[in-house]
Amino acid sequence: MTHPLVFIDGDQGTTGLQIHERLHGRTDLRLLTLPEADRKNAERRAEAINASDIAILCLPDEPARQAAASVVNPKVRIIDASSAHRTDAGWVYGFPEMSAGQSERIANALRVSNPGCYPTGAIALLRPLVQAGLVPADYPAVVHAVSGYSGGGRASVQAYEGPEGERGPAFQVYGLGLAHKHTPEIERHAGLTQRPVFVPSYGAFRQGIVLTVPLHLRLLPAGVDGAKLHDCLKRHYAGAAHVQVVPRQDAAAHTHLDPQALNGTNDLRLAVYGNEQQGQVLLTAVFDNLGKGASGAAVQNLDLMLAAMA
């Protein structure tokens, strides 16, 4: 049997490069990329997409929409790493651990939208708690996240690693207009009915994310505390290969979080911290923005789809 042909469209960007690296040496698939001269040739890209079994789009939003629209072969399956289709009901959201049956939906889908890096952490923390009724769907959620500068793409990497690398600031908060494109994705897939406040930032490190969601216990249903929130997350992710929930006793001993702790992996580490006397809880997620937040997630989705094709 011929091994499936996987086309990486945009393999020179930060996400595409890491997907290529993660798939290098695999013998269960064939990789297709375009030579540099053809990367912006719409006709050649359409030919490659339609010749593949699975195409992974590592493109800006508008080119990703154009690439998806170019599919005429009904058997071609797409994994879109852009944000173009993440709230599109016609696409399956590519977060396997999000809910029961999501892995199967991804495995059998023709169109899968890979989650954004920040939404991965926010949704992982909030969705199980909202579904369980421990956090109201209309909770006034605030999400703060610090990512490595690779989250800004090639231009950001160049600002830190290029000839004038000192141009990159030690820390910068952005999205001050509260209109970041990830916010609707967080709202929809976390199950919220009110738009969260999302405050993203970059630090002077290449990759990794720490994301936090503070909660006031007085705004949660009666009797909900940090232990119940932790137990809900623990139950939801029991048996998940790539999601860890830090035990309560271990979290109590922590004094800081390292955004780079899981770099190079496809893992996501969740924890619940709190001050019960003050009625406050902090939900946290640590992961690699280019791993579980991008290329690692894409390869995880690809493997689900390949297994279904076998």
Given the residues 54, 59, 109, 117, the one annotated as active site: 117
SS3 per-residue string spanning the chain: CCCCEEEEECCCCHHHHHHHHHHCCCCCCEEECCCHHHCCCHHHHHHHHHHCCEEEECCCHHHHHHHHHCCCCCCCEEEECCCCCCCCCCCEECCCCCCCCHHHHHHHCCEEECCCHHHHHHHHHHHHHHHCCCCCCCCCCEEEEEEEHHHHHHHHHHHHHCCCHHHCCCEEECCCCCCCCCHHHHHHHHCCCCCCEEEEEEECCCCCEEEEEEEEHHHCCCCCCHHHHHHHHHHHCCCCCCEEECCHHHHHCCCCCCCCCCCCCCCEEEEEEEEHHHCEEEEEEEECCCHHHHHHHHHHHHHHHHHHHC
232 is catalytic: no
Residues classed as catalytic: 117
